[in-house]
Amino acid sequence: MVLLPVKCPVCNGIDVTKHGNTSNVKQRFICKDRACEGKTFVQDYSEKGRVPETKQQIIEMTLNGSSTRDTYGY
C-alpha cells in the first residue's frame, strides 16, 4: 500500500488535514499553512468543472475569445 500526501491546490503544500465531508460524502480537506488562503478543497471532484485547473482553462479560453462550444471538448 502506498500513501500519497494530499497537496493543497493553491500553495501545493502538504500541511493538510481532514475537514469534514461534503453532502456527497466526499472527504473535505483544509490547508494549515498560514501563508495560504486556507480554503477547504476536495481531493476527488465528481464534477470536472469544479477542478481548479479546469476553471483556469475556461478563464483563459474566455479571454482568448473562444465560444462556449469550444469549452465542451475539454
Overall domain count for the chain = 2
Reported as a single tens digit per residue, the pLDDT across 56-67 is: 888 888 888 877
Q: Assess whether 10 and 36 both reside in one domain.
A: yes
Looking at the whole model, is its pTM more than 0.75? Answer: no
Q: Assess whether 32 and 22 both reside in one domain.
A: yes
Q: Which helix (H) or strand (E) holds 28?
A: strand 27-31
- Residues 62-73 as b or e (16 or more Cβ within 10 Å = b): eeeeeeeeeeee
Residue 35 lies in domain: 1-43
Reported as a single tens digit per residue, the pLDDT across 26-35 is: 889 999 888 8
Q: Assess whether 37 and 54 both reside in one domain.
A: no
Q: Assess whether 29 and 51 both reside in one domain.
A: no
Q: Assess whether 3 and 39 both reside in one domain.
A: yes
